[in-house]
Amino acid sequence: MDKQWIEQLPISSIEQVKAVGGGDVNEAYQIDTSKQKYFLLIQPNTSKEFFITEAAGLEDLQKAGITVPEVYHVDEINGDAYLLISFLEEGPRVNYRDLAKMIAKMHQATSENGLFGYQYPHQGTDINFDNDWTDSWIELFIERRLDKLRDALVKSNKWNQKQVHTYEQARKVILEELTEHASQPSLLHGDLWGGNHMFLENGEPALFDPAPFYGDREFDLGVTTSFGGYSQEFYTAYQEFLPMAAGYEKRLSFYRLYVFMVHLLKFGGIYESRVDQTLQEILP
């Protein structure tokens, strides 16, 4: 890390800066000072707007009573966007029942205007989604997310016409199912895979790295089933704290499809079979 870059951060008494795992999107660093530790995320050659949504999500989650890193600063240095947050220390204990209780609590927070969406768009490195407010979950999820992913996969030559046809058949099923399902605009983490939760030194669960918006809470639950990382105890407890409506098992596959389409667009053929398999799960 460039020393002159680091010296422009709004913190003092820096003792150590070391690179840490931060996923596949951002550069990530642990910064130790004489008083505390910070977590620094950097997106090179990008404006600070890149982190605005994530920072707002952390603050909204915190307002809802969810344990998340404290947001200290969002800005840019020498044309590089950065997000400076508190560093959470991970502990050895896990408590999936408490994690389920916390996520159920998050999902009980709803948008003040009663609409689906968010105040800021979703900004990714490969695709962006607008989060403009709407009274229709179908519009937000199918038309503005799934359909946009379909078009992006075709444009990038990662889908052929046969795959598009299969998607269109599955889309009819998704549309029919969601038309019959009463969706509510819950506060969502938006990227709730196993790598975005942790348990602190006292065993308390915490969330981080959100891609927030208000949507059907089954979206978050579907994301959790994409790559594992959540025990059966978690799902049993969630059903106890905030039961899902009948037929939810089928609907969770809609959100796995979304996750795998995003990953197919980003990483290519390694996810093609996961997308195809999920489409077949959705078809009658």
Indicate which residue of 60, 80, 191, 216 is catalytic: 191
Residues 27-62 as b or e (16 or more Cβ within 10 Å = b): ebbebeeeeeebbbbbbeebebebbbbbbbbbebbe
Catalytic residue status for 130: no
The catalytic residue positions are 191
